[in-house]
Amino acid sequence: MSDCSFSQPVVSDVELIASLKAQVAAQQAELEQQAAKLAHSQKIFDRSSAAARIGVWECDLSDESLVWTDVVYDIFDLPRGETPDRAATLKCYPEESVRELHKRRTKAIEDRTGFTLDAEIISFKGVRRWIRITATVESVDGVAVRIFGMKQDITEEKILADRTRYLAEFDVLTGLANRSQFQSRLSAFDHASSRRVRPFGALLLIDLDEFKPVNDSLGHAAGDECLKQAAERIRDVCPDAELVARIGGDEFAVLLGADARLAEASDAARAIIAHLGYPMEHRGHQLKIGASVGIALADSDTPSAQLNVMADAALYAAKKAGRNTFRIHKAGISLLTSGSSAVA
């Protein structure tokens, strides 16, 4: 019986070294590929962050040291890479925002949660901005060690929101409250009435006399100028009013304060009629108009809808009486009380 032996392949040192080099090269290529992908992802993140004006920040709670990404430096107008100083940064915020930020930050650290806060800042170059701060607390073994999050420049968003809100509540031509805000404030009277607290004491409805001839003969530009000057005069003679509004084409409304009674409402109506009776100027033309005023005096039991009807009925009576005058309607009294004309 013959012996059988199996020979093992012999790998030379040269071949082993070559194999190891190939493995190292393959791993290096893979690492470089991953690094390239990471760099590309970072570039996309940086561009997206810059476009959205979102920066990332981190604060070590052991020493309050900060780390920022470039966008945060840009928001505060600081040179990129400069070591951020939390105390100096807080001086960019108004005091009430600092207090609110401290309050929310303290609670988030205690509860190991997070928060979101919109605040106005003045950057280190004096630029006023609105930013949105989001924060999350990181803890280790139940102890908060770090707080991090994002800071986003929302100035344009804030301007757009303010503009949208303004358009929803104010008349663009005159700057007065619009009909929507007037109705909202008027309806608040109903809620206050149940508590026997009056948010205002009288409603004045004002209709411009002879406005249509001005608009028809001199054009819409003259009509618009007439409305703007009328609004300014009504506002000037009712500086303490709860609300002055333009509620229609040439219709205005005034809500006088809770202390207003017959005498105060009458005085306001006389002043409005007198001031609207003075000629207005527009491109060399004199615009002559007048005003009729209807007044509704209310107690706490008068619903807002009834108050509006009362004032409208009083306004109709003033126009029927010859215009440039006012009439008064009191709650609980069906007859209209005459008011003297302020213009001879």
pLDDT tens track for 161-199? 999 999 999 999 999 999 999 999 888 777 665 545 566
The mean per-residue pLDDT over the stretch 20-38 comes to 68
Contact, 298 vs 331, CB < 8 A? Answer: yes
The mean per-residue pLDDT over the stretch 251-270 comes to 91
Partners of 338 in the beta sheet? 327
Secondary structure class of 340 (helix, strand, coil): coil
> pLDDT grade, residue 49 (50/70/90)?
very low
> How confident is the model at residue 342, as a pLDDT?
38
The DSSP-derived string for 312-325 is HHHHHHHHHTTSS-
The mean per-residue pLDDT over the stretch 71-98 comes to 93
> pLDDT grade, residue 40 (50/70/90)?
very low
> How confident is the model at residue 260, as a pLDDT?
81
Q: What percent of the chain has pLDDT over 90?
A: 58
Bridge-based pairing of strands 326-330 and 54-60 is unpaired
Cβ-count burial of 221 within 10 angstroms (0-12 exposed, 13-18 middle, 19+ buried)?
Answer: exposed
> How confident is the model at residue 130, as a pLDDT?
96
> How confident is the model at residue 105, as a pLDDT?
95
> How confident is the model at residue 149, as a pLDDT?
94
From 29-43, 51-65, 309-323, 324-338, the region with the lowest mean pLDDT: 29-43
DSSP alpha helix (H) spans, the chain = 13-52, 70-76, 86-90, 95-111, 155-169, 179-193, 211-218, 220-237, 262-276, 304-320
Contact, 269 vs 342, CB < 8 A? Answer: yes
Nearest-angstrom CA–CA distance, 249 and 266: 24
Contact, 251 vs 231, CB < 8 A? Answer: no
| Residue of 63, 66, 96, 95 whose CA lies nearest to 78 | 66
> How confident is the model at residue 75, as a pLDDT?
95
Known catalytic membership, residue 111: no
Q: Does position 128 have pLDDT exceeding 80, yes or no? A: yes
Residue of 153, 171, 209, 250 marked catalytic:
250
> How confident is the model at residue 285, as a pLDDT?
79
pLDDT tens sequence across 317-340:
999 988 899 999 876 554 454 554
Domain architecture of the chain: domains with CATH: 53-159 (3.30.450.20), 170-338 (3.30.70.270)
What are the phi and psi torsion angles at 247 (to 5°)? Answer: -110, 0
Structure tokens, 27: 């791993």
pLDDT tens sequence across 149-165:
999 999 999 999 999 99
> pLDDT grade, residue 227 (50/70/90)?
very high
From 31-35, 107-111, 281-285, 298-302, the region with the lowest mean pLDDT: 31-35
Mean pLDDT of the chain: 84
